[in-house]
């Protein structure tokens, strides 16, 4: 690895293969990207027709997408709005909720804290066992959590949402990886102070089309729509989102396939000396005293993983496809 600054970059998000390739010019191509929690076996179905790219997205197509997604999530269509990725909703939350303090159960996905801090709101990371007692205006819980997969049970979330709503406080549940733990979703729960974020790109493996949803009380949904304008998502998001959320067979098959590959990955990683500390069926969080050396070794084999500034002995692995297991196995076995 020629570029020492690259490790710092890699701790911000997963992805960024262009920078990885520049930092490790001798690594074998193509790169195997295990740095994100995005399903490497995406839902495959028609993209938007060329004629759809030529037009403004039809308002009727947005209504149709939201109806199919609402049905998949178990919520009413007037309680949700599509956004260009869950990220877009995360960034706009401070504008929608006029609060002075936020507590985020962490460590977790960094954009939450970044977004509230950029808006000048007092923001504090708290431990999971402090959540129920939080008195902040907004409490954010990522469920299951990224990167460690920590699960907050549905019953506990409902109790928190109810208690917070009663005193005018918000609970934001980021369900970006909830397809890996569907029984604990609160997307169907109606509480005035509960906001749920959903991501399309991760489980369906289509992060490049930018599609997510905010689920909330109808007045808040209307406010979000006003901020987003009339065409919040593009043509591919409308077409592929509608196709994918309606494909319940694919969802069931994919849940099973990911669970199987996760078991296989855990075996490989344990064999190589990693301690598996958690995760979901889309990514596994590990600990090893040699995390920085492992990261570099795998980069040199053209495999990008995810290090963390807040957990220097941690390394996260996305779950590979069947055909990429042998390459990962060889690289793991070659570590000296």
Which residues in this chain contact a copy of itself in the complex, by CB under 8 A? Answer: 13-19, 33, 36, 38, 40, 42, 47-48, 50, 52-61, 84-85, 87-88, 90-92, 95, 111, 114-115, 118, 201, 205-210, 226-237, 240
CB of 90 to a copy of itself, least distance (A): 7
Chain centroid offset of residue 98 CA: 25
Scan for tokens 């490989």, then name that residue: 268
Q: Is 285 helix (H, G, I), strand (E, B) or coil?
A: strand
Q: Is the CB of 151 or the CB of 220 nearer to a copy of itself?
A: 220
Q: Is the CB of 106 or the CB of 241 nearer to a copy of itself?
A: 241
Q: Is the CB of 87 or the CB of 174 nearer to a copy of itself?
A: 87
CB of 153 to a copy of itself, least distance (A): 29
Bridge pairing between strands 311-318 and 283-287 = antiparallel
CB of 67 to a copy of itself, least distance (A): 13
Q: Is the CB of 15 or the CB of 278 nearer to a copy of itself?
A: 15
CB of 208 to a copy of itself, least distance (A): 3
CB of 9 to a copy of itself, least distance (A): 9
Angle at 147 between CA 145 and CA 150, to 5 degrees: 35
CB of 253 to a copy of itself, least distance (A): 18
Q: Is the CB of 4 or the CB of 56 nearer to a copy of itself?
A: 56
Question: Which among 205, 159, 154 is positioned nearest to 175, based on CA atoms?
Answer: 154
Q: Dmax over Cα atoms in the chain, in whole Å? A: 58
Residues ≥6 apart with Cβ < 8 Å to 65: 82, 233, 237, 238, 241, 242, 245
Residues ≥6 apart with Cβ < 8 Å to 4: none
CB of 231 to a copy of itself, least distance (A): 6
CB of 308 to a copy of itself, least distance (A): 17
Q: Is the CB of 35 or the CB of 134 nearer to a copy of itself?
A: 35
What's the 3-state SS for 119-169?
CCCEEEEECHHHHHHCCCCEEEEECCCCCCCCCCCHHHHHHHHHHHHHCCC
Q: Is 99 helix (H, G, I), strand (E, B) or coil?
A: coil
- Contact between 187 and 75 under an 8 Å Cβ cutoff? The reply is yes
Q: Is the CB of 120 or the CB of 129 nearer to a copy of itself?
A: 120
Q: Is the CB of 86 or the CB of 186 nearer to a copy of itself?
A: 86
- Contact between 78 and 293 under an 8 Å Cβ cutoff? The reply is no
- Contact between 35 and 306 under an 8 Å Cβ cutoff? The reply is yes
């Amino acid at each position: 690895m020629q570029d020492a600054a690259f490790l710092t970059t890699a701790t911000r998000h997963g992805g960024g293969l262009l920078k990885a390739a520049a930092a490790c010019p001798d690594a074998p191509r193509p790169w195997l990207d295990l740095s994100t929690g995005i399903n490497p076996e995406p839902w495959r179905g028609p993209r938007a027709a060329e004629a759809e790219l030529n037009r403004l997205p039809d308002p009727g197509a947005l209504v149709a997408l939201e109806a199919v997604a609402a049905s998949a999530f178990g919520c009413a269509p007037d309680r949700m709005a599509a956004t260009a990725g869950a990220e877009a909703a995360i960034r706009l939350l401070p504008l929608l909720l006029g609060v002075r303090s936020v507590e985020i159960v962490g460590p977790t996905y960094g954009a939450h804290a970044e977004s509230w801090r950029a808006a000048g709101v007092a923001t504090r990371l708290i431990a999971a066992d402090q959540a129920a007692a939080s008195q902040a205006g907004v409490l954010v819980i990522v469920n299951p959590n990224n990167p460690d997969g920590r699960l907050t049970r549905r019953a506990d979330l409902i109790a928190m949402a109810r208690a917070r709503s009663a005193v005018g406080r918000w609970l934001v549940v980021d369900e970006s990886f909830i397809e890996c733990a569907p029984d604990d979703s609160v997307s169907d729960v109606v509480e005035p102070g509960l906001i749920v974020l959903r991501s399309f790109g991760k489980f369906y493996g289509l992060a490049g089309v930018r599609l997510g949803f905010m689920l909330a009380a109808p007045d808040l949904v209307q406010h979000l729509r006003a901020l987003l304008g009339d065409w919040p998502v593009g043509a591919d998001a409308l077409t592929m989102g509608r196709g994918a959320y309606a494909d319940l067979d694919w969802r069931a098959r994919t849940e099973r396939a990911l669970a199987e590959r996760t078991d296989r990955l855990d075996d490989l990683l344990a064999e190589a000396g990693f301690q598996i500390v958690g995760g979901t069926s889309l990514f596994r969080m590990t600990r090893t005293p040699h995390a920085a050396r492992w990261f570099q070794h795998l980069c040199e084999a053209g495999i990008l993983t995810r290090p963390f500034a807040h957990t220097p002995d941690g390394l996260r692995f996305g779950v590979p496809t069947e055909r990429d297991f042998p390459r990962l196995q060889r690289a793991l076995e070659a570590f000296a």
